[in-house]
Amino acid sequence: MNTLKGETVAVVGLAESGRAAARLALEKGGEVHVSDLRTDAATHARGAELRKLGAEVDVGEHPIGRIVGASTVVVSPGVPPDAPVLIELRERGIRWVSEPEFAFRFFDGPLIVVTGTNGKTTTAALVAHLLEEDGVDVALGGNIGAAFGPAASELALREQSPAWYVVEMSSFQLAAIDRFRPDIGVMTNLAPDHLDRYSSVDSYYADKANLFRNADDDSRWVLNGDDPAVVALAEGVPGRCFYFSVKDAGRSGGDDSRSGAYLDGDVLTLRMAGAGEGPSGSEAADGNEALAGSEAIGEGLPGHDEVLGRVEDIPLLGSHNLENALAASITARLAGVSTRSISRGLTTARALPHRTEWVAEANGVRWVNDSKATNVAAARSAICSLEGPLLVLLGGKDKGEDFSPLVAALSETDASALAFGQAGTRIFETLHGQVPVELLDVGFDEVVEEAARRSASGTTVLLSPACSSYDMFENYEERGARFAALARTLSAGADG
């Protein structure tokens, strides 16, 4: 698809992804209408920008008559499925698509999609880093967040198509796809999340399963072989599956049990049964050649092990990041990146902000910012991945998850917890009597200051809240930035 001339596009929601979709539709010659219920200054500013570009904009309402008349309706991920505008569209039989689905129609090159409950952004960014290490032109974006990459529609506006698109997708975005199809799809893991938006875990997983919706025999899937839910979700999908595992050497699922990446002691190892070298660097500039024939995904070739490096060589904090590294390594290899470039790229990878990010250390007390851990599975993973005594800060807006899995994580490690925020009472009630925990009915700054007072040398203070941030902050980034600033200030005072 190269043009939208003669077509109308309605964009519901005017956050960054909605703005990007509207700009793309305008660039492609469409008549564009955008609406948003919000009336804050930022929404008005984006609306004013789009009006200057030729869009019709309604702020403070979703005029249904104008929306239903559009050729294509694009819905931003922040619009909940029970929003009145979507209920009315559903009742009228009007289908809509997500912003990445809309952008995909204008992509001109092969696509890597990364999804899962946790580790999506780190893995997507690491995939892009490994490709760039090999000299490949990469366009990174999607749900990854404005600090790391733009919305998918911004990628479609590039003047020159990249050798590979790398797009992170949330369940909200996967819920409304039609033709969207990755050449390589990655699923990092699955765990309960967003139960304030989904009626059940199964409905959440069902949206994730849309990753495989348009699979064919040429599809390639990179899957967590240690996660039964992931393996089950991908069972029977067309294409070829490659699995990563940190638990057992060579362990994976399905028929391709020898294909993927794993830990052999402390050695990251690639075992790509049936995968040849494929083009890399400038040879990958043609993009689609990286998946063409046996040069990239050779069929029937014997498996062989390739050493990527040792655990100690990877500068990413936490054992869960080894899963991300293995997933990214398989993906890069399938995209034609040489093993040498992958090994080199793993040693130069850097942690993304708010994801088990070391932020300060003084007098033997280490501070780690994992504010992105907005669900129980992410917090549990961070707790289990760090060594030594831990003081974990748990709390925030309650999304309705079961906090009991934290009991095992905390009790199996040398860990205690401080519970705070809207969910603090329920966290405390779940943990009390089983692990050391105290409920603090104070502000966030006071929680962090109390953590400093309680931390002896050798302790790691870990902000891994298991909750969203919206009771105290605009987003997890603001929460993490505040934690990091306080940690640095407290550490500087301790050194003094």
Residue 440 pLDDT greater than 80, yes or no = yes
CATH class of 357-495: alpha beta
pLDDT band of residue 146 (cuts 50, 70, 90) is: low
Q: Dig out the tokens for 492 from the structure.
A: 């500087």
Q: Which tens digit of pLDDT belongs to each residue from 1-28?
A: 589 999 999 999 999 999 999 999 999 9
Domain 8-95 has CATH 3.30.1360.120: no
Average pLDDT over residues 241-262: 71
Question: What is the rounded distance in angstroms from the CA atom of residue 72 to the CA atom of residue 393?
Answer: 45
**Please, which residues have CB within 8 angstroms of residue 330's CB and are 6 or more apart in sequence?**
222, 242, 244, 260, 261, 270, 272
By the 10 Å C-beta count (0-12 exposed, 13-18 middle, 19+ buried), 170 is classed as buried
Q: Which tens digit of pLDDT belongs to each residue from 171-203?
A: 999 999 999 999 999 999 999 888 888 889 999
Q: Rounding to the nearest 10 degrees, give the CA dihedral for residues 244, 248, 253, 258.
A: 80
Q: Which of 209, 171, 210, 165 is nearest to 183 (CA)?
A: 165
Average pLDDT over residues 250-265: 66
Residues 33 and 11: beta-carbon distance below 8 Å? yes
Task: Name the CATH superfamily, with its identifier, for domain 101-347.
Answer: Mur-like, catalytic domain (3.40.1190.10)
pLDDT for res 144: 78
Residue 253 pLDDT greater than 70, yes or no = no
pLDDT for res 495: 61
- Average pLDDT along the chain: 90
pLDDT for res 385: 85
Question: What is the rounded distance in angstroms from the CA atom of residue 255 to the CA atom of residue 286?
Answer: 31
Residue 210 pLDDT greater than 60, yes or no = yes
Question: What is the rounded distance in angstroms from the CA atom of residue 408 to the CA atom of residue 428?
Answer: 15
Residue 281 pLDDT greater than 50, yes or no = no
By the 10 Å C-beta count (0-12 exposed, 13-18 middle, 19+ buried), 17 is classed as buried
**What residue segments make up the domains of the chain, in order of their start?**
8-95, 101-347, 357-495
Q: Dig out the tokens for 425 from the structure.
A: 């009472």
Residue 284 pLDDT greater than 50, yes or no = no
Residues 466 and 394: beta-carbon distance below 8 Å? yes
Residues 238 and 253: beta-carbon distance below 8 Å? no
Average pLDDT over residues 475-488: 96
Residue 455 pLDDT greater than 90, yes or no = yes
Q: Which tens digit of pLDDT belongs to each residue from 381-426?
A: 899 888 899 999 999 999 889 999 999 999 999 899 999 999 999 9
pLDDT for res 432: 97
Q: What is the DSSP letter of 328?
A: H
Length of the chain: 496
Q: What is the pTM of this model?
A: 0.82
